[in-house]
Amino acid sequence: MPDYGFETLAVHAGQDPDPSTGAVMTPIYQTSTYAQPAVGEHRGFEYSRTGNPTRQALEACLAALEGGSRGLAFASGMAATDAVLHLLQQGDHVLAAHDLYGGSYRIFERVFGQLGLTFSYANAADTQAFLAQIRPDTKLIWLESPTNPLLDLCDLAAISHAAHDQPSSPLVCVDNTFASPYLQRPLDLGADIVLHSTTKYLGGHSDLVGGGLVVRDDALAERLAFLQNAVGAIPGPLDCFLVLRGIKTLPLRMQRHAANAAVIAGFLADDQRVTSVHYPGLETHPQRALVQRQMRNPGGMLSFQVGSAAKARAVAGAARLFTLAESLGGVESLIEVPAAMTHLSVAGSPLEVPSDLIRLSVGVETIEDLLADLDQALGRA
């Protein structure tokens, strides 16, 4: 598409009116196969594992939003993660940020670790110390920024450019789920692969499960497309339609998510019942300057600590408007205790998260209602 603004791309990229009917919204092509005019000839689609018009529209939209040349849609964020890891060979090493989604750690250690890949973890917020952990056999660097669940940032440009100067020239993959492409575009900062759980902010309504990858390099895109087709972990057309529907309001939602989160973070930071708050938008956040340089705004995710695991469970259980649930990025506000929920897989490991940590996915509800709910939950704990 022409050099349109982000909001225009969110509404239109990959989604021209249907040429046969004029439908403005991309149709749900609920089909598994396609009639061919002759043996070995097709009209661009032959079998929906390989390609589907609804999925094609989503993939084009994802690529446009992230500034890439090719987007690839998957059945889940973990299916997208699996595809990236399948780029590697037995004996290859992956260097990952030490604060990351528990599901990523699980597939690293308990699936691909058994297949001969090796993994190590370091604090990516300390750029030089992190880069010092790159080894001759390092073929992939795995980053989150902000991280899940401590909301740390890393300098994506510095790490990406320095990594590519290494003799092993590892690929840099950034899980951009917490930020969304509206807040941050890692490819512009030098990353090779951007990953999303489209379940979260891109879908935005807690009604689908999906994943996506975006790249700029054509050869890398072909390798990933081969894996997408060979393994077959692709989303159905209805899920693709729902992600496209959600993306249309992504800029508006992200603005409200961030505005609400900033107010809540300030409220919690001033509350004596809270021992610490992790939110990149706070003036006291140690990477505040990096937030301003790397992101459009600090986003809608935050976490805070309350002094004990028992109190964290009590606060989460006492919330009424904040729904006690895993996941994030929907229009509704969610609350969870990562150590006992999304990050249970890192329990007992060096990546274990604080047991008194509470994570919030701040929704788009009336801010006074959200503040009142947190106040009463903290009071009842």
To which residue do tokens 């140690």 refer?
286
Query: What is the C-alpha separation between 303 and 275, in angstroms, rounded?
Result: 11
Query: What is the C-alpha separation between 92 and 33, in angstroms, rounded?
Result: 38
Active site residues: 49, 101, 175, 200
For the four alpha carbons of 147, 153, 159 and 161, in that order, the dihedral sign comes to positive
Query: What is the C-alpha separation between 52 and 56, in angstroms, rounded?
Result: 6
Residues 281/298, Cβ–Cβ less than 8 Å: yes
Cα distances (Å, whole numbers) of residue 204 to 31, 243, 280: 25, 8, 21
What tokens does 42 get? 């097709």
The residues, ordered by sequence, that sit 6+ positions from 25 with a Cβ below 8 Å of its Cβ are 15, 241, 244, 245
Residues 90/117, Cβ–Cβ less than 8 Å: yes
Closest CA to 59 of 209, 214, 171, 186: 214
Query: What is the C-alpha separation between 244 and 53, in angstroms, rounded?
Result: 12
What tokens does 259 get? 């505005």
Closest CA to 264 of 335, 200, 167, 178: 335
Calculate Rg over the CA atoms of the chain: 21
What tokens does 371 get? 């503040």
Residues 195/62, Cβ–Cβ less than 8 Å: no
